Amino acid sequence: MGSKAHSKKLFKRKKTLGQKIFNSVKSFDMYGKDIVLTYDGEDKYRTHIGGIASIFVFGIVFTYIIYLVHVMLTKGDTTFIKTSLLNDLYENVEFHSPSANSKGTGHSQFDFAFKFTSSGQDYLNDPTAFSMSMSFVEQKWVTENGVAKIKRNYTDLEYEICGLEHFDYDDISEIKRIGVDTYYCPKGDYSLGGSFYSPQYNYIEMKLRKCVSGSCKSATDLENLIKDSRFSIAIVNTVVDLKNYGKPIQYMIDDGLFWELTPGIRKKTDVFVRKNDASFEDNYVQLGFPEEKEFYQVVDSSDRFEAESSSGDLLSIYFRFDKTSDIYERKIYSLGELIGQAGGFYTVLALFGSILLFIFSERLFVSSILSRIYQIDRWQEHERLDKNLRSKNQKEISKKNIQYREDGRSIKQPLTESEKFHSKTSGDLKHINSNNVLVPSLLPNLEKSMRERRVFKYGYTDILHYLFCCVVCRRKRTMRLKPRFRDHLYYEIGEEKLLDELDCVTIIKAVRQLKILTQVLFDKKQKFLMKFQRNNVIDSSSSGTSDEGQMNIVDLMASKNSKHVEIVNKKIQKAVYSFDGKHLKDLDKRIIAGILKRRLSDSDDDHDGTHKDDLQLKEITSNSSAQEEHKEDYQKFKRGVRIIPLFSNAEIGDTVNKIYETQNDAEGKERPVHYYDNESCISSVDIFQNNNSTAKISSVNSK
């Protein structure tokens, strides 16, 4: 014990902390390869109809992607959004505009110039007629002795001829064309912000007055000048052209603000300057970092009219900060949206196709597996059809009210070739079990049984027949009797067997049994040498799959190539006649019995009575359900309904005459068989199962 523990310690070393951390890194791997089972070396089972549908889907998606690429390159699906917001002017939100010739920093791209003319002549600098004042006003609310008061600070803003330098506009030719170079521009810096009730309120005040004292012109002259006067303001305004991808924000000289004065009336105008934001995402690959810009725009003005004051004010203009702002957003159709839209379209088409083709892919995959594992006995299949036809004819005869037969003999049905074959082979197998020598007459039957096998085929036509004929609503008895529906029954039975064998419990049991067999059959040295078998070596001459797995012997028997059929027949004949004259071992006997019988436990080599005990146990467990079924059949029989019992084993006779024949042969005598009309009754029905689950009806009395 001590040496074993020591050897385990040699092979199992304790991991260091660094090794544990290094190994834990693998748990974060998101590019790991998924572990899946394969079929014919592929992780998916592919069909022709699925390939055609996939090509159709890929063609549609590819065409759709080309259309989306065209839309993206031509910017045909650009999104434009304009959002208006109401600013909180109680915060320090302001607009600062340094003049073009000041030392202020920044470039707001906003400026204005003004001009006052009468009869085309500039009277702004004529003190005998008019005077002009411009002030930057800073208004604050202060509290004195608990009372809120307004405190204003006026800063005079000087102005000068704009020329070509003092007006903040890039297009010089436009300045000359409009004549803004002859206007007056403010020289100092100013800012706009807040509102009247804000803690801080900044605005610009411009006042135009007529001369009221001193050396002034006569009232008549002043009145005539006022009637022909015009006060104009040129503003650098902005226009947002969202369809212009080179320069979406364009500047222009807006001459929309002008006033024609009226004698005796004072005009007051509020000009609102709005601060706007713009966001542009014009890249085909967008990472969420748009190009943002800020610009100002004169959007509104309001006029008020009052009587002329004693101070001679004719016009008062107030530049104020607008309480609203606009946000312009532009987003072109990007590559990410193209991929998402194309992927969503592909997902919808793929889902729709999977719904339509699910039944094909599912059944073709299962049938492909069934064709490689299970086989169909063509001989018994044809004879079972004849047997069902005879059963159908007998049911038609039994509908007639035949009371008795005069001769008192039963109508015997001849045995089919399959029944004769299995009856004879059962006796030959008993002889093998007792003498360990193969009966020569069994060899041709064994060869015939092997040759009369076919591969289960279930293709597209069967699936279409399954869909259009609503086979899912058919009873199993209908599928068993009609040849066209029999393949569907074979499919359901095979699928049930396949799912049962693929059950995790079944697989675990099989693996455990294999391990136990390896442990029982091999000693420690043999198990050690099994690890070094030549089959485990990979070299340049070895193939990835075994040659035996690539050939389906049963499929080759139905091949159109005569050479293939001849080779397979020779192999079958050679394998069968290798048992001729040979002393059979228990394994040989069970292999032969497995070809002829479905269950090896049904063979006659049961010397200890285990098989008999299994039958008795099966009979006990089925008695309770059988009694309930027979009671229901008896009630239907009393109401005049013809009951046709369905037997589970296909080798059982399914007519009453056949049952009596079996009973008479067993007892060595014949009994008269009675046929009853709807008024007859059955006093008792005993059904028991023997080797082939034969049914026996006894104690039948006529009313």
Model confidence pLDDT, tens digit, residues 590-609: 777 777 776 665 444 554 44
Total residues found in the chain within this entry:
703
**Cα–Cα nearest to 71, from 241, 246, 245, 284:** 284
Looking at 224-233, 313-322, 547-556, 673-682, which range is the least confident one? Answer: 673-682
Average of pLDDT values for 431-438?
64
Do 200 and 233 lie in one domain? The reply is: yes
Q: What is the pLDDT of residue 313?
A: 87
Does the pLDDT value for residue 671 go beyond 60? Answer: no
185 plus 44 within the same structural domain:
no
Average pLDDT, rounded, for the chain: 75
Say if residue 72 is in the same domain as residue 201.
no
Instruction: Name the band, by pLDDT with cuts 50, 70 and 90, for residue 631.
Output: low
Choose the final residue of a domain: 332, 349, 381.
332
pLDDT confidence of residue 665:
44
pLDDT at 419: 58
The residue-averaged pLDDT of 434-457 equals 74
Q: What is the pLDDT of residue 67?
A: 95
What lies within 8 Å, CB to CB, of 309 at 6+ separation is: 266
**Which whole number is the average pLDDT over 645-653?**
37
In this prediction, residue 649 has a pLDDT band, given cuts at 50, 70 and 90, of very low
Would you give the distance in Å from CA 163 to the centre of its chain? 69
Write down the pLDDT at residue 571: 83
The pLDDT tens digits of the residues spanning 198-224 come to 888 899 999 998 888 778 888 888 888
Model confidence pLDDT, tens digit, residues 76-131:
889 999 998 887 766 656 666 655 444 444 455 788 999 998 888 888 888 888 88
538 or 497, greater pLDDT: 497
The mean-pLDDT minimum among 50-54, 353-357, 470-474, 633-637 falls in 633-637
Does residue 357 form part of some domain?
yes
Most confident of 444-453, 504-513, 691-700: 504-513
Q: What is residue 213's predicted lDDT score, i.e. its pLDDT?
A: 79
Which one of 312, 332, 352 terminates a domain? 332
Question: What integer pLDDT is reported at residue 113 of this predicted model?
Answer: 92
Q: What is the pTM of this model?
A: 0.63
Rounded alpha-carbon distances, angstroms, from residue 310 to 188, 205, 209, 215, 432: 30, 19, 10, 17, 142
Element (H, E) at 173: helix 172-178
Cβ atoms of 451 and 572 closer than 8 Å: yes
Residue 254 per-residue DSSP state: E
Same domain, 203 and 310: yes
Which has the higher per-residue pLDDT, 270 or 679?
270
Q: What is the pLDDT at residue 58? A: 95
Residue 338 lies in a domain: yes
Checking if the pLDDT of 656 tops 70, the result is: no
Residue 147 has pLDDT above 80, yes or no: yes
Residues 282 and 367 in one domain: no
* Domains of the chain: total: 2
**Alpha carbon of 636 to those of 137, 230, 475, 626, 656: distances in Å?**
109, 114, 20, 15, 18
pLDDT confidence of 397, banded at 50, 70, 90? very low
Is 296:275 a contact under the CB 8 Å cutoff?
yes
What's the pLDDT band for 690 if we cut at 50, 70, 90? very low
Res 232: pLDDT: 92
Backbone dihedral region for residue 41 (phi beyond 0: left; psi -120 to 50: alpha; all else: beta): left
Under a CB-based contact definition with an 8 Å cutoff, are residues 648 and 693 in contact?
Answer: yes
Q: What confidence score (pLDDT) does residue 182 get? A: 92
Mean pLDDT lowest for which of 342-346, 381-385, 646-650? 646-650
Residue 92 pLDDT: 57
In DSSP notation, 195-213 reads -TTSSEEEEEEEEEEE--S
Q: In the predicted model, is pLDDT for residue 64 greater than 90?
A: yes
121 and 146 housed in the same domain: yes
Residue 63 has pLDDT above 90, yes or no: yes
- The enclosing H or E element of 151 equals strand 147-156
Instruction: Specify the range with the lowest mean pLDDT, choosing from 164-173, 410-419, 527-536.
Output: 410-419
Distance CA 322, CA 244 (A): 27
What CA–CA distances, in Å, run from 328 to 82, 249, 276, 291? 5, 10, 8, 12
The domain boundary residue, chosen from 273, 299, 332: 332
Q: Is 59 in the same domain as 107? A: no
* Residue with the two structure tokens 């004169």: 298
Lowest mean pLDDT among 5-9, 38-42, 365-369: 5-9
Query: What is the C-alpha to C-alpha distance for residues 321 and 327, in angstroms, rounded to an integer?
Result: 16
Looking at residue 343, its pLDDT comes to 94
pLDDT of residue 684: 34
In this prediction, residue 432 carries a pLDDT of 66
Residue 646 has what pLDDT? 37
| In-domain check, residue 309 | yes
652 close to 385: Cβ distance less than 8 angstroms: no
More confident residue, 241 or 634: 241
Does residue 578 fall inside a structural domain? no
Instruction: Report which of 322, 470, 411, 367 is spatially closest to residue 656, judged by C-alpha positions.
Output: 411
pLDDT, mean of residues 566-578: 79
Q: Is residue 137 domain-shared with residue 268, that is, in the same domain? A: yes
Checking if the pLDDT of 151 tops 60, the result is yes
pLDDT at 667: 43
* 93 and 222 together in one domain: yes
Domain span holding position 254: 83-332
Name the residue with higher pLDDT: 538 or 618: 538
361 three-class SS: helix
- Which range, 102-111, 475-484, 637-646, is most confident? 475-484
Q: Per the domain annotation, does 344 fall within a domain?
A: yes
Counts of helices then strands in the chain (DSSP H, E): 20, 18
Chain position carrying tokens 């369809």: 243
Tokens found for residue 67: 């259309």
User: Would you say residue 383 lies in a domain?
Assistant: no
Q: Which residue has the tokens 């008061």?
A: 149
Identify whether 109 is part of a domain.
yes
Q: What is the pLDDT of residue 519?
A: 85
Mark whether 182 and 310 lie in a shared domain. yes
- Say if residues 202 and 193 touch (Cβ distance below 8 Å): yes
Q: What's the confidence (pLDDT) of residue 636?
A: 45
**Nearest 5°: phi and psi at 459?**
-120, -155
| Residues 211, 307 within the same domain | yes
Strand partners, 79: 331
Arithmetic mean of pLDDT, 276-282: 91
CA dihedral 622, 625, 629, 634 (to 10 degrees): 90
**Residue 217 belongs to some domain of the structure:** yes
- The SS3 call for residue 83 is strand
Instruction: Say whether both 346 and 367 belong to one domain.
Output: yes
In this prediction, residue 643 carries a pLDDT of 35
Return the beta strands (E) in 189-312 as ranges: 190-193, 200-210, 229-240, 249-259, 265-281, 291-307
**Residue 73 pLDDT > 90, yes or no?**
yes
What pLDDT is recorded for position 424? 62
How far lies 413's CA from each of 23, 379, 398, 423, 606, in Å? 76, 19, 15, 16, 32
Q: What secondary structure does DSSP assign to 451-491, as a single string?
A: HSEEE----HHHHHHHHHTTGGGS-HHHHHHSHHHHHHHHH
Q: Is 450 helix (H, G, I), strand (E, B) or coil?
A: helix
